Amino acid sequence: MHALEKKLLILFASAAAALSLLGILFVHSAGSYWGEIHYGDTLPFALKQAVYLAVALAAAAFILRFRGIGNKKFWNAVYILSIILLVGVLIPGIGAVRNGSQSWIALGPISLQPAEFTKIAVIGKLASMLGEQRGRKVFRLSHLAVILLPAGLIMLQPDFGSMMIMTVSAFCVLLIAGYPLKFFFGLGAAGAAGITALIAAAPYRLDRIKAFLDPWSDPLGSGFQGIQSLLAVGPAGLLGYGYGQSRQKYLYLPEPQNDFIFAIIAEEIGFLGSSAVILLFLLLTAAAFGLAARQRDPFSLQMVSGMAAMLGFQSFLNIGVVTGLLPVTGVTLPFISYGGSSLLAAWIAAALILRFGSGGGKG
């Protein structure tokens, strides 16, 4: 292993670990009032997040040692399982509805969000298919089918954010594999038409676009979250109000420990602190793409690139929503937002980057 590769691996792992620890700290702060209301204690969300992190790290350790991780049959099985789970989540009695989306499978006290793991399954499946081409630039409908089938199932929940993250990450894999730019221009035009149709078919999506353009047109409805998020981020100044001193977590931002946790981070540690968090995400993403650039094996190159794109784009999307740069859509902030499925998926992606980025994907 070259010295630069080793440094990139250390940088990536350190950034992921730092973000996860920050996650526990700010899940505690953001969720303290919710915890007190629902559980009579300020600690439940932070304690659960610590347990989720332990499980996620155990899964990451398993992936780093699992010998079949580079096997095409393994990724076929993972992909098929993800499709079965996506179908299962749509079946009444199996799928659970939360915040207007039937995106969860409830197994007693444990809840699973299949879309989080489908993103990983699609990237792994595509990388295993494209890696066999060894540089041959061959367009195949089967590559698009691998993306479009789960994308359609996710939209039936509906979960527009997860669908976008999965699709963008998968297209990154196709680009790295040698698909021509004109293919993406054509697909982009078709995608824009499809997104327009999806917005027109669901009035709440159109309301979100209107709220993005003018949140004050409906401050107690579709514009509520965006306004409350800006009221957290805007007045905080350079240093913020201090850790634990957020005002917006007192039921102004709904479930602030989840999708809008970055608003609480900005409110409490200000512009400088939140910029440091963004820098950690930039370092994590840059290190991952740096590892990808050093891979000679097509499978490893595409796997690391896809996982890097997934983590980077999801981070950008979440922070863009919280800061008012993008319309509101429900996506978590990797490594930081509260939730077992989100944290587990982030660390699985991180472990795959570390495994394939170190040249151990075939082992």
Share of the chain above pLDDT 90, in %: 61
Q: Is the pLDDT of residue 346 over 80?
A: yes
Q: Which residue has the higher pLDDT, 137 or 291?
A: 291
Share of the chain above pLDDT 70, in %: 94
Residue 158 preceded by cis peptide, ω within 30: yes
pLDDT at residue number 241: 95
Average pLDDT over residues 231-251: 92
pLDDT at residue number 202: 65
The string of pLDDT tens digits covering residues 194-218 is: 777 766 666 666 777 777 777 887 7
Average pLDDT over residues 219-242: 88
| Distance in angstroms (rounded) separating the CA atoms of residues 52 and 335 | 11
Q: What are the φ/ψ torsions at residue 309 (nearest 5 degrees)?
A: -65, -40
Residue 329: which pLDDT band, with cuts at 50, 70 and 90?
confident
Structure tokens at 61: 């350790």
Residue 108: which pLDDT band, with cuts at 50, 70 and 90?
confident
Structure tokens at 139: 């367009």
Q: Which residue has the higher pLDDT, 292 or 158?
A: 292
- pTM, full prediction: 0.92
CB-CB contact of 277 with 262 (8 Å): yes
Lowest mean pLDDT among 52-56, 102-106, 347-351: 102-106
Sheet architecture: strand order including 110-112 = 95-98, 101-107, 110-112
pLDDT at residue number 1: 66
The pairs formed by 250-255 with CB atoms below 8 angstroms and a separation of 24 or more are 250/33, 251/33, 252/228, 253/225, 253/228, 253/229, 254/225, 255/34
pLDDT at residue number 132: 65
Average pLDDT over residues 261-265: 96
Mean pLDDT computed over every residue of the chain: 89
- Residue 34's nearest CA partner among 263, 328, 224, 252 is 252
Q: Report the run of H or E that residue 98 belongs to, with start and end.
A: strand 95-98
| Distance in angstroms (rounded) separating the CA atoms of residues 168 and 147 | 10
Q: Is the pLDDT of residue 134 over 80?
A: no
Average pLDDT over residues 310-333: 93
Average pLDDT over residues 113-130: 95
| Distance in angstroms (rounded) separating the CA atoms of residues 331 and 115 | 11
pLDDT at residue number 133: 62
Q: Is the pLDDT of residue 113 over 80?
A: yes
| Distance in angstroms (rounded) separating the CA atoms of residues 125 and 203 | 34
pLDDT at residue number 214: 78
Structure tokens at 54: 């332990």
pLDDT at residue number 196: 72
The string of pLDDT tens digits covering residues 52-98 is: 999 999 999 999 999 889 899 999 999 999 999 999 999 988 888 88
The string of pLDDT tens digits covering residues 268-295 is: 999 999 999 999 999 999 999 999 999 9
